[in-house]
Amino acid sequence: MSVVFYLIAGLTVAGALAAVLLKNTVHCALALTVAFAGLALMFLELDAQFAGFAQILIYIGAVAILVVFAILLTRGSETPKDGVFGAKPLFGLVTAAGIFAVLGWAVLHSAQALPGAGGSPTPAPTVTVMQIGNALMDRYVLPLEIVALLLTAALIGAVIVAMHEKAGAR
Amino acid sequence: MIEKADQIFVLLAHWLVSFLPAGLQHVAMVLLGVVAIVATFPALFAITVLLERKGLGRMQNRYGPNRVGPYGLFQPIADGLKSLTKEDIVPFKADAVVHFLAPVLLVVVVFMGYAVLPMGRNMTLVSMDAGLLFFFAIGASTELSVFMAGWSSRNKYSLLGAMRAVAQMISYEVPMLLSSVAVVMITGSLSLNKIVEAQNQYTYGLPHWYIFTPWGFAGFILFAIAATAETNRSPFDLPEGESELVAGYFTEYSGFKFALFFLGEYVGMMGISGLGATLFLGGYSAPLQVLNFVPSWIWFFAKIMLAMCAFIWVRGTLPRLRQDQLMNFAWKFVLPLTLLNLVVAGMWRFMGNGWLRWVVCSAILLLAYVLMARVGMRKERFGPRIYRYAE
Amino acid sequence: MSPHLNPLTGYLLVAALLFAIGLAGALTRRNAILVLIGIELMLNAANLNLIAFWRYGPHPEALTGMMFAIFSIAVAAAEAAVGLGLVISIHRHTKTTDLDAMNRMKG
């Protein structure tokens, strides 16, 4: 596997580790942005152009900013006095390590049965943006409308949940 | 001969690259393009800064800088030397790593946007299938740099300026995208090269630029408004307003980092002007068919400089908008008009080729503008002031 | 371990690692926003899995994998928005985002 893959994977994993380990919450959010960027680069390496650009646009351009705003609005930049990890972090670590072990074993055990195992890579599927657009209106129109409805509901819900209460009800 | 002048940079690049072995040639071509972009646009930035200071000065009935050379022409050199030799102050409690990375991220991101702009015939650095999406994705990352700058300074004014700037940039991102979607819809492709090629045709000597259609004209104006707000330019420059917030999110930056922010802002302005020229003004195509002998890259850079002059002109003319007026304008006026523009562009496409579509589309857009801007905003009443305290 | 790792195995392992890191973060950190960050990492790992299989798998339908990933990105963004709105609202009531301090329904 190529050097580029190792570099991008290293960047992504480093960003993810920093995002869950750092003390300062805003630093965690910025490290998460690095992880998102690394993932977008991986999508581009996998010839999924539209998914890569959508990842940058949506995750880095919107979700990261949302996380950062939420941290600022909840004064998360002050470090808590009891430390940043919860009461019993060991259970969480053991669970995560166990899941990684199971997934890793499954992937490596079936490496021969996966496509491309013989050393000959399968050709990349060519998906143009026009095909995606046609499919969104043709075959995937129902999921598109449902996602639009979901986004509208999420928008209205988030505004109502986070809105200030009326002055009389205070 | 005309062909040679038009393609002179491409031929030069090919000639330079032919000295290298065949394996390195592709990488060398891309590197040459990158070096050309990184060399050209800061030079244009220097010219623009001088133009702005002199132009604003003249608009305000004073001379601009005129000491440093004949008519002040060497002022950018003096500015550059000053910013390089000033002391680089980092506040004691500031977050040093984030404070350092914010201008770096801004400059990297704005230069990456130039990779997809077609600067002349065959002169795109990377010709992507989804080029427009790449430009907008990269443009969305500038907000992060603004926030990083404001937060890492540990300064209330900087933070306030950064939050305002990010809120403004996010609000105007949607109209910018939607007004470009109308262009994409009519062209049928997200690739900027195809959009320019679709506008490169002439009837009776007049070009097929999209700005000469009703939806294109409205789209161009809306895109220009959104672009002015995206780059924090007057009249939307409350986040960096000198009289309100000291300097907004780059208050605590001095010396070369400030110069980098300045560079990033102007280079970003030129990038968005380039995108606007590509989408609505025909990119590298000439305005009249008889003028096709002028090389295509001259037209592109002329359009960019025209847009920069328009930016400077607007800055010197209009007063600054308040933050809530700015957000109101975005969500209640610009966004509905861009949605209507989309519908009108669709109607234009399916109405056949006569005079009827011109009349109907123009009438709908004019009616919408009059209704929303004149009639809808007439009822602004000023009641007693309500104070809301931060909790 | 297979003698020659094909590229798909590499991507799947990275996705599994990201998922495990996100899960560890969501389960151990005290701040509610960091739990949401962990959840976003998990969703991204699943997206990486989808795109890796789309690239290297058999292609009876070349579009399904990419569409699935795009819809997943959209839904994850909506869920992040609502989750963060909830965290802000809870902070307004209890003045803290510490998950260990929110134990009123305990016992």
For residue range A106-130, what is the model confidence (pLDDT) as tens digits? Answer: 988 887 666 655 445 666 677 888 8
For residue range B32-42, what is the model confidence (pLDDT) as tens digits? Answer: 999 999 999 99
- Domain containing A37: what range? 1-78
> Per the CB < 8 Å rule, is A35 touching C18?
yes
For residue range B168-214, what is the model confidence (pLDDT) as tens digits? Answer: 999 999 999 999 999 999 998 889 999 998 888 887 767 788 888 88
pLDDT above 80: residue A37 = yes
SS (H, E, C) B40-60: HHHHHHHHHHHHHHHHHHHHC
Partners of B166 on chain A (C-beta within 8 Å) are 65, 69
Question: Where in chain B are the domains?
Answer: 88-375
For residue range A60-103, what is the model confidence (pLDDT) as tens digits? Answer: 989 999 999 888 888 766 666 666 777 788 888 999 999 999 99
* A89 located within any domain: no
Chains that touch B (3 or more CB pairs under 8 A): A
* A113 located within any domain: no
How many folded domains does chain A comprise? Answer: 2
| Lowest model confidence (mean pLDDT) among A78-82, B209-213, B258-262, C90-94 | A78-82
Of the candidates C33, C55, C62, the beta carbon closest to that of A71 is on C33
Domain final residue, candidates A47, A63, A78 = A78
For residue range B295-349, what is the model confidence (pLDDT) as tens digits? Answer: 888 999 999 999 999 999 999 898 888 888 888 889 889 999 999 999 999 999 8
Average pLDDT, chain B: 87
CB contacts < 8 A (A, B): 60
Nearest CA in chain B to A77: B151
> Per the CB < 8 Å rule, is B189 touching A130?
yes
Contacts with A, B 102-131, CB within 8 Å: 128-130
Q: Considering only CA atoms, which of A38, A3, A66, C8 is closest in space to residue B147?
A: A66
For residue range B99-127, what is the model confidence (pLDDT) as tens digits? Answer: 889 999 999 999 999 999 998 888 888 88
* A87 located within any domain: no
* A46 located within any domain: yes
CATH of the domain at A44: 1.20.120.1200
Nearest-angstrom CA–CA distance, C3 and C69: 31
pTM for this model (two decimals): 0.89
Element (H, E) at A38: helix A25-45
* A66 located within any domain: yes
Domain final residue, candidates A78, A113, A136 = A78
> Per the CB < 8 Å rule, is C18 touching A116?
no
The residue among A3, A12, A17, A20 with the most chain C CBs within 10 A of its CB, best to mutate, is: A20
The residue among A73, A85, A103, A156 with the most chain C CBs within 10 A of its CB, best to mutate, is: A103
> Per the CB < 8 Å rule, is C18 touching A13?
yes
Those residues whose C-beta lies under 8 Å from the C-beta of residue B207, and which sit 6 or more positions away, are B199, B200, B201, B282, B285, B286, B287, B288, B289
| Same domain? A66 vs A139 | no
| Same domain? A74 vs A131 | no
* A88 located within any domain: no
Nearest-angstrom CA–CA distance, B257 and C46: 39
